Chain A
Amino acid sequence: MKRLLLACLCAAMLCGFAGAAHAKTLKMALDADPVSLDPHVQLSGGMLQYSHICFDPLVRWAKDGSFEPRLAVSWEQIDPLTTRFHLREGVKFHSGNAFTAKDVAWTLERLKQSQDYKFLFELFGPAKVVDDLTVDIVTTKPYGLVLAMATYIFPMDSAFYSGMDDSGQPKDAIVKTGPSFALTNESGTGPFAVTYREQGVKTVFTRFKDYWDTKSPGNVDEIVLTPIKEEATRVAALLSGDVDFISPVPPQDLERVGAHKDVQLVTMSGTRVITFQLNQKRRPEFADKRVRMAVEYAVNNAGIVDKIMKGFATVAAQQSPAGYAGHNPELAPRFDLDKAKALMKEAGYEKGFTVTMIAPNNRYVNDEKIAQAVAGMLAKINIKVELKTMPKAQYWDEFDAQVADIQMIGWHSDTEDTANFFEYLLMCPNKETGSGQYNSGNYCNPELDALVIAANAEFDTAKRTAMLQQAEKMAYDDAAFVNLHWQNNSWAGRKNHKNLEHILNVMDFPYFGDLVVE
């Protein structure tokens, strides 16, 4: 009997110790999981979040807006066109290969091939490898945003991604839809490596044991990412303890989550603007400025912010949020139903017409409800909207194919600068250069393009600001697209996530490698 008791006691103690030394797992529920393991397939918030988990950028944004060295330890401008980056020593990729300047040059070359990224890197020439740990990034024109762009250079393992895969396709092929080597394989230098992935079901990231940043306080050994599209389910999973971290927190649940005793809520006012694009190529009606203006006047964006977003967003009348160079304080939100009706009458569409609209249902905060509300508002000026919403995994293919007359898109400026909005959303679409890559409205105003290009070459801050503000005014006067709001960011984690607020930022790129769980 005594022996049995002793054995039980020993077993219990063993279990206890095992529990204490148990690996720290962060169970995370987001509205969607990465569409691919290839970071260059899509320029989107979700893919950049993934990049920060599995890869490291040359530099990254710190909380105060400065640049924090990551794979680059220091940098200097050696002439107006060249910035020299000194790289970190002893960094290893997940495959075991050593990280060198060659990988940086290779990654930049691949970025320039990517449909989505190529316009961001249009001014960049091929990088020059000086030695193993020194690389020169060269631009074709003097460019003020080289460091901001370096936050998007996540060096990939050039040796790992070279050669042919089993189906005879080059391993570095960037394939938007369909199989590719990079879709299912990854090798970066980041704090975590993907060890299991079933798309749309579960992704497991395991701490990389040879991670270079040994000074990082982060102690999470494993991240299990489960996409939960249903908002109520996501919140319930957090509150019941099934998951430890969720994002976004739906506006209707902020109060409840904030008041919970085991949970901490972090919110930040955001810089991501939510808009609708009116396709002028599909619908000749939208080529008429009066019709676009009528739509802009018919959409009560203050009402959407108030009712659907529960005040958890800022009403927008332009793309640049306050604090950006191009933010034009003169532009005020427009909503006037009578004026909208008058404009429709003036344009000869008093009886209205029927259009199609698509929107994602797990990409932006309350995206589906916003789309429904806008459809209802347009009905009041006799524009009948046939709306279809879908998960983002399908949405971007449909968006690129421009299957509907009105399409929703939200944009966060990649460079934290106004020009980026114009370059991607409003410049005349050009497949060669990649400008207007996400301009599904096909709005094209050469004057506006010229102004933004001139602003990019302008180094006098005051002049550049005036030019970008002028550009915002032109888009506003032209009702180039439908403005809604800048959505706020929200995350919720457990109380024992010690530095949760520090690893989160307004770009919504959480630095999970540094998360401390007690």
Chain B
Amino acid sequence: MALLARLRESYLLHSFLRDPVAVGSFIVVVLLVTAGFLAPVLAPMNPYDPAQIDVMDSELAPAWIDQDSSFLLGTDSQGRDILSTILYGTRVSVLIGLGAVALQAALGIGIGLISGYAGGRVDAVLMRVADVQLSFSTYMVAIFLGAIFQATFGVGRYEQIAVPFLIAVIGLAEWPQYARTVRASVLAEKKKEYVEAARVIGLPSGRIMWRHILPNTMTPVMVISTVQVANAIMSEAALSFIGLGMPVTKPSLGSLIKSGFEYIFSGAWWITLFPGVVLVLLILTINLLGDWMRDFLNPKLYKS
């Protein structure tokens, strides 16, 4: 209760409510994410269960064009309801986005903190590792790991491990963003007096790093995190689009867009258009929220 009251009095809420773009984006993101996670309840059918799909329903137009169609947004080439597939697909996309960012953050913050605080040789080695990692694109990592995974787990197994696999790939490919930001902040913080004071008291380095320095580097981390969630969702969609991500039998937004791509000129435009709109909306609103947060946390813009 006290927390709620504090929030109501806070400058954060005040600034948020005064910005209609931020409020609008927030509402859209919350709606999309909730709809995605409630997919099993909300969706008219389960597109991941092949027993519920009937190929005889394939490529039906949205309900307002084709009066006989019982599918609000039409169906794809296999007879999956587009609306249901979008809901399930959003859930997969958000899940992969959040999972990948959690992994990136865990790796990046840990490495950045150690690197910045320890300095010297440790710093040099860790940052060179980050440089090497940055020189590989996400897609190269995905192709490389994908080949290994598929060879190890056999032909059909990939379908079951696709989600953790994508989280691992996107997480491993983009941690250096975090590591560099955190390191830069740590370098700035560690010369400050409160750190000196903590050291004089005789606190162990671990405690100084995690309890004293880390909380003061969180501002940029939060801004990166919002942007990185959007990036991770986009990477997933791109990987799925080129056929390295979610299998066609368990479509995410990206693989749904891909599966409709060859029909876009042949009349069945709805297969690609609707998931595309949802993907754009999701990424745009997350980015707008990130923008607002950056402005809010930037002390130079604080007073103006």
B50 touches A376 (CB 8 A): yes
A303 touches B55 (CB 8 A): yes
The residues of B that contact A376 with a CB separation of less than 8 Å are 50-51, 53-55, 78-79
Interface 1/0 per residue, A364-393 and B, CB below 8 Å: 000011001101111110000111100000
B159 in contact (CB, < 8 A): yes
B78 touches A373 (CB 8 A): yes
A23 to chain B, nearest CB (A): 32
Taken together as a complex, chains A and B put the C-alpha atoms of A378 and B55 apart, in Å, by: 12
Known contacts A252-B266, A307-B59; A369 and B78 CB within 8 A of each other = yes
B249 touches A308 (CB 8 A): no
Known contacts A300-B55, A307-B58; A256 and B266 CB within 8 A of each other = yes
> Which of chain B's residues 46-87 have a Cβ closer than 8 Å to chain A?
49-51, 53-56, 58-59, 77-79
A372 touches B268 (CB 8 A): no
The residues of A that contact B265 with a CB separation of less than 8 Å are 232, 235-236, 253, 256
Chain A contributes a number of interface residues (CB within 8 A of B) equal to: 35
A304 in contact (CB, < 8 A): yes
Taken together as a complex, chains A and B put the C-alpha atoms of A369 and B248 apart, in Å, by: 10
B49 to chain A, nearest CB (A): 7
A375 touches B50 (CB 8 A): yes
Taken together as a complex, chains A and B put the C-alpha atoms of A43 and B261 apart, in Å, by: 33
Query: Smallest CB-CB separation from B260: which chain A residue?
Result: A232
B88 to chain A, nearest CB (A): 16
Cβ contact of A308, chosen from B55, B154, B158, B247, cutoff 8 A: B55
The residues of A that contact B218 with a CB separation of less than 8 Å are none
> Which of chain B's residues 226-262 have a Cβ closer than 8 Å to chain A?
247-249, 261-262
B8 in contact (CB, < 8 A): no
Known contacts A369-B78, A386-B159, A387-B156; A375 and B249 CB within 8 A of each other = yes
B249 touches A232 (CB 8 A): no
Taken together as a complex, chains A and B put the C-alpha atoms of A303 and B58 apart, in Å, by: 10
Taken together as a complex, chains A and B put the C-alpha atoms of A473 and B190 apart, in Å, by: 84
Taken together as a complex, chains A and B put the C-alpha atoms of A269 and B72 apart, in Å, by: 36
B157 in contact (CB, < 8 A): yes
A356 in contact (CB, < 8 A): yes
The residues of B that contact A388 with a CB separation of less than 8 Å are 155-156, 158
The residues of A that contact B274 with a CB separation of less than 8 Å are none
B267 touches A252 (CB 8 A): yes
A308 touches B77 (CB 8 A): yes
Taken together as a complex, chains A and B put the C-alpha atoms of A377 and B52 apart, in Å, by: 9
A227 to chain B, nearest CB (A): 16
B262 touches A231 (CB 8 A): yes
Q: Total A-B residue pairs with C-beta atoms closer than 8 Å?
A: 80
Interface 1/0 per residue, A344-359 and B, CB below 8 Å: 0000000000101110
B155 touches A369 (CB 8 A): no
> Which of chain A's residues 391-423 have a Cβ closer than 8 Å to chain B?
403-404
B249 to chain A, nearest CB (A): 6
Query: Smallest CB-CB separation from B49: which chain A residue?
Result: A379
Taken together as a complex, chains A and B put the C-alpha atoms of A354 and B156 apart, in Å, by: 10
Taken together as a complex, chains A and B put the C-alpha atoms of A422 and B49 apart, in Å, by: 36
Interface 1/0 per residue, B98-126 and A, CB below 8 Å: 00000000000000000000000000000
> Which of chain A's residues 310-365 have a Cβ closer than 8 Å to chain B?
354, 356-358
**Majority DSSP secondary structure for residues of B touching A:** loop
A288 in contact (CB, < 8 A): no
B92 to chain A, nearest CB (A): 18
Cβ contact of A232, chosen from B154, B156, B248, B264, cutoff 8 A: B264
Known contacts A252-B266, A375-B249, A379-B49; A404 and B155 CB within 8 A of each other = yes
B249 touches A387 (CB 8 A): yes
B139 in contact (CB, < 8 A): no
A132 in contact (CB, < 8 A): no
B263 in contact (CB, < 8 A): yes
Query: Smallest CB-CB separation from B80: which chain A residue?
Result: A376
The residues of B that contact A307 with a CB separation of less than 8 Å are 55-56, 58-59, 79
> Which of chain B's residues 123-157 have a Cβ closer than 8 Å to chain A?
154-157
B267 touches A304 (CB 8 A): no
B55 touches A358 (CB 8 A): no
Cβ contact of B266, chosen from A253, A303, A375, cutoff 8 A: A253
A250 in contact (CB, < 8 A): yes
Query: Smallest CB-CB separation from A251: which chain B residue?
Result: B266
A89 in contact (CB, < 8 A): no
The residues of A that contact B77 with a CB separation of less than 8 Å are 308, 369
Interface 1/0 per residue, A178-212 and B, CB below 8 Å: 00000000000000000000000000000000000
A356 touches B78 (CB 8 A): no
Taken together as a complex, chains A and B put the C-alpha atoms of A387 and B50 apart, in Å, by: 12
A230 in contact (CB, < 8 A): yes
Taken together as a complex, chains A and B put the C-alpha atoms of A376 and B51 apart, in Å, by: 6
Taken together as a complex, chains A and B put the C-alpha atoms of A112 and B290 apart, in Å, by: 69
B146 to chain A, nearest CB (A): 12
A349 to chain B, nearest CB (A): 15
B279 to chain A, nearest CB (A): 19
A230 touches B262 (CB 8 A): yes
The residues of B that contact A356 with a CB separation of less than 8 Å are 154-156
* Most chain A CB neighbours (cut-off 10 Å) among B56, B157, B261: B56
The residues of B that contact A231 with a CB separation of less than 8 Å are 262
Taken together as a complex, chains A and B put the C-alpha atoms of A404 and B157 apart, in Å, by: 12
The residues of B that contact A357 with a CB separation of less than 8 Å are 156
B51 touches A379 (CB 8 A): yes
> Which of chain A's residues 234-272 have a Cβ closer than 8 Å to chain B?
235-236, 250, 252-253, 256
Taken together as a complex, chains A and B put the C-alpha atoms of A380 and B265 apart, in Å, by: 32
The residues of A that contact B56 with a CB separation of less than 8 Å are 300, 303, 306-307
The residues of B that contact A378 with a CB separation of less than 8 Å are 50
The residues of A that contact B58 with a CB separation of less than 8 Å are 307-308
The residues of B that contact A303 with a CB separation of less than 8 Å are 55-56
A372 touches B267 (CB 8 A): no
A and B contact pairs by CB, cutoff 8 A, 8 listed: A232-B266, A307-B55, A354-B156, A356-B155, A373-B55, A375-B249, A376-B51, A376-B78
User: Contacts A379-B49, A386-B156 given; 15 further ones with Cβ under 8 A?
Assistant: A232-B266, A235-B265, A256-B266, A304-B55, A307-B59, A357-B156, A368-B248, A373-B78, A376-B50, A376-B51, A376-B53, A377-B55, A380-B50, A386-B157, A403-B155
| 4 closest cross-chain pairs (CB), A and B | A386-B156, A379-B50, A232-B262, A376-B50
